A and B are shown apart, each in its own frame.
Chain A
Amino acid sequence: MTVHIDNMTRVFDSPNADRIVAVDELSLTIEDGEFLTLVGPSGCGKTTTLRCVAGLDTPTAGTIRVDDRDVTELPPQQRDVALLFQDIALYPHMSVRKNMEYGLKIAGVPEDERREHVAEAAALLQIGDQLDKMPASLSGGQQQRVALGRSLVRDPSVFLFDEPMSDLDAKLKRELRPVVQRITDEIGCPVLYVTHDQEEAMTMSDRIAIMDDGELQQAGSPKNVYSEPTNDFVGEFIGQPAMEFFDARVESANGTAAVSLGEHTVSLPATAAELEGYVDGPVRVGVRPQQIGIGDPAEGIEAEHVLDEPLGDETHSIFETEFGDVTVVTHADFDGDAETDYGLVLDESATQLFDPDSGVRIH
Chain B
Amino acid sequence: MASETVESTATTDRRSVRGRLGLDGEALRGWATVAPVILLYLFVAVTPVAFAIYASLFEVPLLNPNWTFTGLSNYVEVLTMNSFWSSLWLGALFMIGSTVVQLLVGLWIALVLNQLDRGQRFLTAVAFTAYLVPTVIVVLVALFMFDVEVGVLHIAGSTLGLWGERTFALGDQTWAMPLVVLVGSWKFSIFVTIFTLAQLRAIPDRFYEAAKICGASRWEMFRDITLPRITGVLLIAVLLRAVFMFNKFDIIWMLTEGGPAGATTTLPILAYRTAFLHNDYGVANAMAVVMFVFLAIGAYCYFRAFDPTAEVNT
Residues of A within 8 A of B (CB): 54-56, 75-77, 80-83, 85, 87, 89, 91-94, 102-103, 106-107, 136, 150-151, 154
Contacts and interface: CB of A to CB of B under 8 A. Distances in A.
Interface string B191-230: 0000000000000101101111111110010001100110
Contacts of B217: 77
A80 B212 CA distance: 10
A89 B224 contact: no
A154 B214 contact: yes
Nearest to B311: A93
A89 B207 contact: yes
20 contacts: A55-B212, A56-B212, A56-B213, A75-B212, A77-B216, A77-B217, A80-B215, A82-B213, A83-B210, A83-B213, A87-B206, A91-B224, A91-B228, A92-B314, A93-B228, A94-B224, A102-B214, A103-B213, A106-B214, A106-B220
Interface centre among A93, A150, A151 (most CB of B within 10 A): A93
A102 B212 contact: no
Contacts of A77: 212, 215-217
Given A89-B206, A93-B228, A106 B213 contact: no
A122 B209 CA distance: 23
Nearest to A77: B215
Contacts of A150: 210, 214
B213 A54 contact: yes
Given A76-B212, A150-B214, 16 more contacts: A54-B213, A56-B209, A56-B212, A76-B209, A76-B215, A77-B217, A85-B209, A89-B209, A91-B210, A91-B224, A91-B225, A93-B229, A93-B314, A94-B224, A106-B211, A154-B214
B206 A106 contact: no
Smallest CB-CB A-B distances: 3 pairs? A103-B214, A89-B206, A93-B228
A151 B209 CA distance: 13
Contacts of B229: 93
Interface residues of B, number: 18
Contact of A81 (B213, B225, B228): B213
B212 A91 contact: no
A80 B214 CA distance: 8
Contacts of B225: 91
B228 to A, nearest CB: 4
B215 A103 contact: yes
B215 A89 contact: no
Given A102-B224, A106-B220, A85 B206 contact: yes
Nearest to A75: B212
A234 B261 CA distance: 87
Contact of B213 (A76, A87, A92, A136): A76
Contacts of B204: 87, 89
A54 B206 CA distance: 13
Contacts of A81: 213
Nearest to A102: B214
Contacts of A93: 228-229, 314
A139 B122 CA distance: 41
A36 to B, nearest CB: 19
Nearest to A78: B215
A85 B210 contact: yes
A151 B225 CA distance: 18
Contacts of B209: 56, 76, 83, 85, 89
Nearest to B220: A106
A82 B217 CA distance: 16
Nearest to A156: B213
Nearest to B204: A89
A44 B229 CA distance: 34
Contact of B207 (A54, A75, A91): A91
Contacts of A107: 215
Contacts of B212: 55-56, 75-77
Contacts of B314: 92-93, 136
A56 B207 CA distance: 12
Contacts of B224: 91, 94, 102
B50 to A, nearest CB: 43
Contacts of A83: 209-210, 213
A106 B216 contact: yes
Contacts of B220: 106
A87 B209 CA distance: 12
Nearest to B216: A106
Nearest to B229: A93
Contacts of B213: 54, 56, 76, 81-83, 103, 151
Nearest to A108: B215
A205 to B, nearest CB: 22
Nearest to A104: B214
Contacts of A54: 213
A93 B228 CA distance: 7
